[in-house]
Structure 1
């Protein structure tokens, strides 16, 4: 994970360095503590700064920014399914490819084939053109700010409520998360318009995101032909009706063992689970094996300390990921299972719901993988510590988002990955499972409240799933990236992987969830069935519980969409 920063000024003789003030520089360095560098181009009009957390390449961290021919490159993320020497970093590989690019078509061809969570900033020194993008699924954070002095692009921001003493700092204007719609192209001599090569044709929701960007940045966006990455277009998962089944055709049985065993005797379901196992296993393997050979504390060239952690509530999502991680993490290394609890006003103390289920599922992991050193790390956060960190630090990481939900989720992930005894560089998250497999109450409500026939009900669920999927980058992923990376950990979410996403979304709603079955069974039913096949028994029966409630950082009386008092900023 890296902290990248780019400042652009349309005026000559303007020093862009004053926009990278001390407080912002510190936040960027938190994301990339291993090596830092800066580059000034075009007589000070362009500043590129990179802060690198060593994750890939077995020799040493690759400094950023990188000059690749006529291009200056800032890259943050991980690339998978590419052919490169194990000692080579993704940044070096990408720079080598970029150096041979000549014009927009070559650059688009390069981006079209990239897989993995990433964002990038590319500056063409010959044409004074700036390119920037977030990956198709919007997994990594990239913020954009527009002010009187020009434009900033960065991994994270710091809202200047007052001038920092001794520094010539001017607060920028409005800040937005860059909508992950495609490749943006900007002539730095003309900030009145921008060109977008979209990943795919825009729809109603993404069109609204683009309109918001135009309004805030005060430019007109010109839409070019879609880039259309191949994984977004091809859909061969339903070939020969290999996956032709309907979960609603099965009768519910109170003995869930009997229910699951009956379904596992169905050939098309077994094929589906076989494909899911192959794709999800590959995704987990890439995310736990591609990391530095040393933990975050050691300076030697290799150690046997934990390098991988799982944010672990004990639910079916994270339990499956932990079990799959066991297949690929070296047997001599522990796997950390991090669970966070917040001080509660009730009598339960730190024994909050997620702590209870994490211990329950830990026993299942120990039964299934007795040779693994499962290392539970229980993080306990007092209300005083929560309020202090939120008011002084975390609010800047969550910015520009400002709701109660952003506060709760952002703080939960921040404190979990802050765990003092953790040595891991990678944090595995279950993000995306609910959106893919139908895990939210609103998916069940869409089915139950529909007044039409069964076909209409399934369409209502499909529409709700699609809406959730469209919104996930702007609702969750960039925020989670900012708060987790601040603790020098890389968030990796195996469910949100191109091939996994393509396959699961090719399945119909009645093949992913079954809302004629009770809560805790029918939601994410296919995933629960997969967990049962892997050997879980208690975890597959746990009801969906949001981390903000399971950890007791929030209560259900709060309105998630309301403005958070802690995230209020003065814009005067």
Structure 2
């Protein structure tokens, strides 16, 4: 995770400086905000081109390679690259190689816009970039097709005659009008005009094949023949995606007791499946942190201590609210639904993966603390600004901070804990790709399978413009990076091309038919892990090997317990 800040501003002096105090102050605020995303290294390169002053700033969060690599990447020809991303597929990156440096070496040998487009179009991974080709004085910039990394744009106006690209904002500010950069194109700018290149990568459309009357799945323990291949392929695809996202993360300490990987963990099937799979690819000596957020709810506390004041006369109700509550005399409970399901699933993980230390991090957020953080979060998530944006951003903000408490077991006393993980796995995407929302069931009632297909396509189309940029800005403010295994373009394409009835079945009861394919895959994976962990006659470590081989060869369905 890195921060990118680029500005092209008319130079107002012979030395190329900009005598505009308000712009300088804004630029410094943006530079500081971007530095928070990459605390390991920061640098700025200034280039004068005619009457314009080009400023390239990049910060670095080292998650690849042996040593810190300062950005912007630059060479003797004046080419510059600001890179915020990860290359997981499309271009081979060695374990100790820096992917930004690798991409820069590729770009240096390209001569046309089409070649640059194709080079970036072949990459699978979350990214945003700014690349300056000095020989043609052309600036290229863009985001990956799903928009997994933030990049905000300010277009020059008469009042604000400068061009800005930045990974994060400083909230509402009179000095800019920011918008999320579209993912539909790569862009090239010659400082005088903005011209989009043709679309550089396409997301596979949803398979529109409609089933007649597919057989119903009776239970999760029996995979019917028509779903066997799809289940095995999903396990393989998702396992590979997780592996690419958790391997080769640099150690910041020689202590193996420090986690490098965490999961944004609600205890739902998405986050639990990611934890299952991460266990296969993270060093067994390392803990995996499971970040679970719960907010104090003042309304529930009011009812618990004062009764339901909603029935009181208005004046009396206002008086009680004004007087407030004596928090020192009450016990605050953080047993929200996600906390309860999370506690249940972490015990299952400990049972199935007993060789791993699972740190279930209870991130408890008092009401006053969340209220105090609100203006900070509102500034970070800008230009997102709805109530729903704020609600989701607040949860991510405190989760990514990673400050909470852990317990060694259900009845153990809590111990303060701050996560050391810099990579946070996020289950976002499974609902959109496999029909996890309640509206899919509603659509089916009104329009059958065709309505489900249309809804899936609508969800897929909205992914690039929905929440990923906002989430990236919020999580990165703590110097951490979120990675989305379900949103690997490989996984997205695989799920998009599957017929609809293999992914979701709204004919089945609620909590069963949604994300049916993932539920079957998770149950099969769980049974395979049970086989490995219950095989007492195996030599130490052999159970893991058998389970690994079984999943890779698609034979887990035959492992009965």
Give the TM-score category using the shorter length: 0.7 to 0.9
Residue 145 (structure 1) shift: 1.2
* Among 229, 242, 267, the residue aligned to 2:225: 267
* Among 158, 178, 181, the residue aligned to 1:178: 181
* Among 111, 122, 145, the residue aligned to 2:131: 122
Q: Give unpaired runs (5+ residues) of structure 2.
A: 305-331, 404-417, 529-561
Pair 321,394 (structure 1): closer, same or farther in 2 beyond 3 Å: same
Pair 70,106 (structure 1): closer, same or farther in 2 beyond 3 Å: farther
Greater mean alpha carbon deviation, residues 421-430 or residues 14-23: 14-23
Contact 1:429–1:491 under 8 Å retained in 2: yes
Residue 536 (structure 1) shift: 7.2
Output aligned runs, 1:526-541, within 5 Å. 526-535=517-526
Following the alignment from structure 1 to structure 2, what is the Cα–Cα distance between the partners of residues 158 and 260? 48
SS of 1:261 mapped into structure 2 = coil
Q: Which is higher, the Rg of structure 1 or of structure 2?
A: 2
* Among 32, 39, 50, the residue aligned to 1:26: 32
Following the alignment from structure 2 to structure 1, what is the Cα–Cα distance between the partners of residues 166 and 458? 28
Pair 248,423 (structure 1): closer, same or farther in 2 beyond 3 Å: farther
Find the counterpart in structure 2 of residue 543 from structure 1: none
Following the alignment from structure 2 to structure 1, what is the Cα–Cα distance between the partners of residues 525 and 469? 31
Does 2:334 align with 1:350? yes
Find the counterpart in structure 2 of residue 431 from structure 1: 428
Contact 2:204–2:493 under 8 Å retained in 1: no
Find the counterpart in structure 1 of residue 452 from structure 2: 461
Does 2:414 align with 1:419? no
Greater mean alpha carbon deviation, residues 269-278 or residues 8-17: 8-17
* Among 312, 315, 330, the residue aligned to 2:268: 315
Following the alignment from structure 2 to structure 1, what is the Cα–Cα distance between the partners of residues 257 and 270? 26
Q: Give unpaired runs (5+ residues) of structure 1.
A: 162-170, 200-226, 239-243, 254-258, 451-456, 538-572
Residue 27 (structure 1) shift: 1.6
Question: Could you give the per-residue CA deviations for residues 127-157 of structure 1, whole angstroms, max 9, x where no partner exists?
Answer: 3221111001111000001242311101001
Pair 117,473 (structure 1): closer, same or farther in 2 beyond 3 Å: same
Contact 1:311–1:429 under 8 Å retained in 2: yes
Residue 234 (structure 1) shift: 11
* Among 63, 67, 86, the residue aligned to 1:60: 67
Residue 427 (structure 1) shift: 0.4
Pair 536,411 (structure 1): closer, same or farther in 2 beyond 3 Å: farther
Find the counterpart in structure 2 of residue 8 from structure 1: 8
Output aligned runs, 1:48-447, within 5 Å. 48-57=56-65, 59-68=66-75, 69-81=77-89, 82-147=91-156, 148-159=160-171, 161=173, 171-188=174-191, 190-191=192-193, 194-199=194-199, 227-228=200-201, 232=203, 249-251=214-216, 253=218, 259-262=219-222, 264=223, 266-294=224-252, 298=253, 303-344=256-297, 345-346=299-300, 349-391=333-375, 393-420=376-403, 421-447=418-444
SS of 1:121 mapped into structure 2 = strand
SS of 2:432 mapped into structure 1 = helix
Question: Could you give the per-residue CA deviations for residues 191-244 of structure 1, whole angstroms, max 9, x where no partner exists?
Answer: 4xx221243xxxxxxxxxxxxxxxxxxxxxxxxxxx346xx5699x99xxxxx9
Find the counterpart in structure 2 of residue 567 from structure 1: none
SS of 1:260 mapped into structure 2 = coil
Contact 2:87–2:125 under 8 Å retained in 1: yes
Following the alignment from structure 1 to structure 2, what is the Cα–Cα distance between the partners of residues 285 and 119? 22
